[in-house]
Structure 1
Amino acid sequence: MAILKSVYIFLLAGICEIGGGYLVWLWLKEDKPYWYGITGALILALYGVVATWQTANFARTYATYGGFFIVLSLLWAWKIDGFKPDRYDIIGALVTLIGVCIIFYVPRPIQQ
């Protein structure tokens, strides 16, 4: 259950960061109204809060989040922005996700 909760937090953080960044991108690069930028900035700030909900330390949390971010960025670009990932994008994302799951989820002895 703890793993599912942490995956949910990573997914929520990713949606906040990518969604917020996307709104800022649209505002600055595609001449959307200023409120896109403001809304995006608020959502990006929310991302910073959501990431703190993880129970691991900062280093492992942000390293692992980086892998989730890669996968979510490709999914966002595919579903929202019309980008079609190729097999190397998918392979690279899966390798990264496996690596960060090792970093975050492999049990370690308790350190004092």
Structure 2
Amino acid sequence: MEALRSIPIFVLAGLCEIGGGYLVWLWLKEDKPWWYGLLGGLILASYGVVATWQTSNFARVYATYGGIFIVMSILWSMKFDNYSPDKYDIVGALIALLGVCIIYYAPRQ
């Protein structure tokens, strides 16, 4: 039941972090209008709020976000930047995802 509740929050936070960061990237690196940066900053700030919706402690939550963001960043880049991950990107992302699932979802006493 914990996974059913936490996974959508991880995905929403990932969209805020990656989407907001991408808008700032476009503003600074690809000469998009200033409001891309402003909107990106606001979306990035919302990521900090969404992260607090998780029920676990700070260390596990942020460690898990790291692994999920690795996977989501590759997927985002495939969709929006025409990026093609190689086998090492995929294997590395899967290892990271497995690791964070152990960190976050392993039964504890």
| Pair 1:51-2:64 in alignment | no
Per-residue CA distance 1:30-81 (angstroms, 9 max, x = gap): 0000000000000000000000100000000000110001000000001111
Structure 2 CA distance for aligned equivalents of residues 41 and 92 of structure 1:
29
Which residue does 2:63 correspond to in 1? 63
Which one-letter code corresponds to 2:18 in the other structure?
I
Structure 2 CA distance for aligned equivalents of residues 37 and 80 of structure 1:
17
Which residue does 2:92 correspond to in 1? 92
Structure 1 CA distance for aligned equivalents of residues 60 and 81 of structure 2:
30
Percent identical among aligned pairs is 72
Structure 2 CA distance for aligned equivalents of residues 23 and 69 of structure 1:
16
Structure 2 CA distance for aligned equivalents of residues 30 and 99 of structure 1:
34
Q: Point out where structure 2 has 5 or more consecutive residues left out of the alignment.
A: none
Q: Kindly tell me the number of residue pairs found equivalent between the two proteins.
A: 109
4+ aligned runs moved over 6 Å, structure 1: none
Q: TM-score scaled to structure 1, two decimals?
A: 0.95
Root-mean-square deviation (Å): 0.6
